[in-house]
Amino acid sequence: MDYLKPFADNLMSFCQKRLGFKRPPRLFYKEDEKNASNILGFTGQYNPGKMEITVFTTGRHPKDILRSIAHELVHHHQNIRGDLNKLGISTDPGYAQKDPHMRKMEKQAYLIGNLLLRDWEDGIKHKHNKEVNIMITEEKYRQQLRKKIRRTIHNLLNESDHEPIPVYEEEEENEASTDQVRVNTPEQEDEIQSSIFAPRLVALNARLMSNWSIGK
């Protein structure tokens, strides 16, 4: 259940803040094939004396397990308020139909528990969608910024007060003229590139430092 634990922990923190109880219950996950094979088997239980929640996990959708956790957390809140300590309370079969007080407790658990899960889920989805939208917006901004930088560099490197950047093309292969081709050393190539680009890069830097405005 490692994949479920971060979501369950987050849901429990959310419910604790919403309901307002200070002491959280202990939470246990129980795998039970026999219980899972029973259509009317257990999904979750709350022990008021030990303040423990047990949720059955075998064969269940993770979201349904989270729903059981939210339901039992409402019972935990009722227990802390003292609503489950009244004399004569029984959890024998049929208690939700026979005992008016416990029927009220179950109504609260079903209604509030489901709403808590829904509010928590919608909050998670909204946060995720917001983060995705921010990522898309930032990427569009970066793309626009890169285009503007490229346009600025292109304009500065081709201003009229400088000669156009020469384009050196490789000579076609010709065995007869091979001995006439001059090969520059790495140092000579660096010197050539520096003489061509250095003045323009200096101008580019000056322009960017003095005039650059992202919103321009």
pLDDT at residue 151, rounded to an integer = 78
pLDDT at residue 145, rounded to an integer = 78
90 is a domain residue: yes
Confidence band (pLDDT; 50, 70, 90) for 207?
low
Higher pLDDT, 93 or 160: 93
Confidence band (pLDDT; 50, 70, 90) for 172?
very low
141 is a domain residue: no
Please state the rounded mean pLDDT for residues 97-107. 90
Please state the rounded mean pLDDT for residues 98-109. 91
198 is a domain residue: no
pLDDT at residue 174, rounded to an integer = 47
Q: How many CB atoms lie within 10 A of CB 190?
A: 11
Rg (CA), the chain: 36
The residues near 91 (Cβ < 8 Å, ≥ 6 apart) are 102
35 is a domain residue: yes
Q: What is the CATH number of the domain that holds 68?
A: 3.30.2010
pLDDT at 80 over 80: yes
pLDDT at residue 88, rounded to an integer = 63
Q: Which domain holds residue 81?
A: 5-132
pLDDT at residue 45, rounded to an integer = 94
Tokens 């995720």 sit on residue:
128
68 is a domain residue: yes
The pTM (predicted TM-score) of the whole model is 0.60
Confidence band (pLDDT; 50, 70, 90) for 35?
very high
Give the tens place of pLDDT for each residue, 118-154. 999 998 888 766 666 666 666 776 777 788 787 777 7
204 is a domain residue: no
Write out the two tokens for 206.
Answer: 């000056």
Please state the rounded mean pLDDT for residues 177-188. 53
Percent of the chain predicted with pLDDT > 70 = 64
Q: For the chain, how many structural domains are there in total?
A: 1
DSSP-derived secondary structure for 117-162: HHHHHHHHHHHHHHHHHHHHHHHHHHHHHHHHHHHHHHHHHT-TTS
Tokens 């922990």 sit on residue:
9
pLDDT at residue 171, rounded to an integer = 47
53 is a domain residue: yes
Higher pLDDT, 176 or 128: 128
32 is a domain residue: yes
Q: DSSP letter for 28, please.
A: E
